Amino acid sequence: MEAATGLNLWREWARVEVASARGDDYAPPVGRTDHGGLLISLARQEWPDVSGYDDPEIAWRLAKRHHAGLVVTSASPTRVESLLAAYMPRFREDFLATMPAAEEATE
């Protein structure tokens, strides 16, 4: 949401709570109306290299062990859809790892 609109929902929620506690009115900021998409995969590599995904619409890259992920944003929903459609088979080839589900919850 933040990448596409410029609004961090958690931050705005905190501002609502603070304003409410003080008896103040809350006025949300004006956000952008871009579109966004998220692509995340469990990765075979410990620290997957997503630098080969270099379109200017990439707004965020996940930095987590054994995970690959990107957020793309654009004013055009068609552009977001086309990027995700192009990236999905590449992610499968470059990164995808699978694991069977645990028998019981671990955390």
Instruction: Specify the pLDDT at position 1.
Output: 87
Name beta bridge partners: 73.
36
Amino acid of residue 25: D
Instruction: Specify the pLDDT at position 45.
Output: 96
Instruction: Parse the chain into domains and list their residue ranges.
Output: 1-32, 34-99
User: How many residues does this entry show for the chain?
Assistant: 107
65-67-71-72 Cα dihedral, nearest 10 degrees? 120
In the chain, which stretches have pLDDT less than 70? none
Instruction: Specify the pLDDT at position 102.
Output: 84
